Chain A
Amino acid sequence: DTGVSQDPRHKITKRGQNVTFRCDPISEHNRLYWYRQTLGQGPEFLTYFQNEAQLEKSRLLSDRFSAERPKGSFSTLEIQRTEQGDSAMYLCASSYSGTLVQETQYFGPGTRLLVL
């Protein structure tokens, strides 16, 4: 297994367009997280899945954002009607549900979005 993968690695779009990102977690991991990172800042939590269930969404995730994990494997994050403020690196992470104190999250390379 080569770790968490994300596609595309870079996306340039015009304001108002819709974009969709994909994340493939480490195969045996049942938890999947999405984070957003803007320049010079640490990543911020957006949402997470346990298997196919989306169990928490941050208030950062406006109604223009939707995430799915239809079969408990890969996940997609869609942004509708993109705005310039959506420009950021979108990071996906996965983990295995051991005990909370031992949970290590493994990150993918990220998708860098630029909205013109």
Chain B
Amino acid sequence: KQEVTQIPAALSVPEGENLVLNCSFTDSAIYNLQWFRQDPGKGLTSLLLIQSSQREQTSGRLNASLDKSSGRSTLYIAASQPGDSATYLCAVHLSTGTASKLTFGTGTRLQVTL
């Protein structure tokens, strides 16, 4: 059974710092990995999707890497801002035969302080 772990569970940094969120998964037979952001009481916003054949993806101040063989992904946030405060979830796509379902980690709760 695929298990996804995110470390740390919570993180507080001052504005302007660069930071790294970690995600690990137990089964490397994944199709892709997706990072999401979730604001309190809200749904999920997709940030980045990394295909299994890719090593990294970038979007603005965000960079996500994927190492399938070691079962790890990182989300790098550059020059953090208070608006980045949210819970960040990683999820791996597993095949159900004809489509993929997501297995999520428990998230990292990020607070960026002024």
Mask: chain A, 1-15; 1 = CB below 8 Å from B; 0 = not = 000101000000000
Contacts A42-B107, A101-B52, A103-B31; A50 near B43 (Cβ below 8 A): no
Question: Is there an interface contact between A101 and B106, defined as CB atoms closer than 8 Å?
Answer: no
Question: Is there an interface contact between B41 and A55, defined as CB atoms closer than 8 Å?
Answer: no
Contact of B46 among A43, A45, A104 (CB under 8 A): A104
Which of B11-19, B75-83, B94-102 lines the interface with chain A?
Answer: B94-102
Interface residues on A, range: 20 to 34
Question: Is there an interface contact between B104 and A42, defined as CB atoms closer than 8 Å?
Answer: yes
B113 shortest CB reach to chain A, Å: 22
> Chain A residues near B98 (CB, 8 Å)?
50, 55
Question: Is there an interface contact between B99 and A42, defined as CB atoms closer than 8 Å?
Answer: no
Mask: chain B, 85-114; 1 = CB below 8 Å from A; 0 = not = 000010101011111111111110000000
Q: Among residues 76 to 105 in chain A, which have CB atoms less than 8 Å away from a CB atom of chain B?
A: 91, 93, 95, 97, 100-105
Whose C-beta in chain A lies nearest to the C-beta of B30?
Answer: A101
CA separation between A35 and B91, bound complex, in Å?
13
> Chain B residues near A104 (CB, 8 Å)?
34, 46, 49
Contact of A101 among B31, B42, B46, B99 (CB under 8 A): B31
Task: Tell me the interface secondary structure of chain B in the complex.
Answer: strand
Question: Is there an interface contact between B44 and A101, defined as CB atoms closer than 8 Å?
Answer: no
Question: Is there an interface contact between B106 and A42, defined as CB atoms closer than 8 Å?
Answer: yes
CA separation between A93 and B44, bound complex, in Å?
9
B102 shortest CB reach to chain A, Å: 6
Contacts from A to B (Cβ < 8 Å): 4, 6, 31, 33, 35, 40-45, 48, 50, 55-56, 91, 93, 95, 97, 100-110, 112
Contacts from B to A (Cβ < 8 Å): 4, 31-32, 34, 36, 41-46, 49, 51-53, 89, 91, 93, 95-107
Task: A48-B96, A97-B99, A104-B34 given; name 8 further pairs at CB < 8 Å.
Answer: A42-B91, A43-B44, A43-B102, A45-B103, A55-B96, A100-B100, A101-B32, A102-B49
- What are 16 pairs between A and B in contact, CB < 8 Å? A42-B4, A42-B104, A43-B102, A45-B103, A50-B99, A55-B98, A91-B43, A100-B93, A101-B31, A101-B52, A101-B53, A103-B99, A104-B34, A108-B43, A109-B43, A110-B43
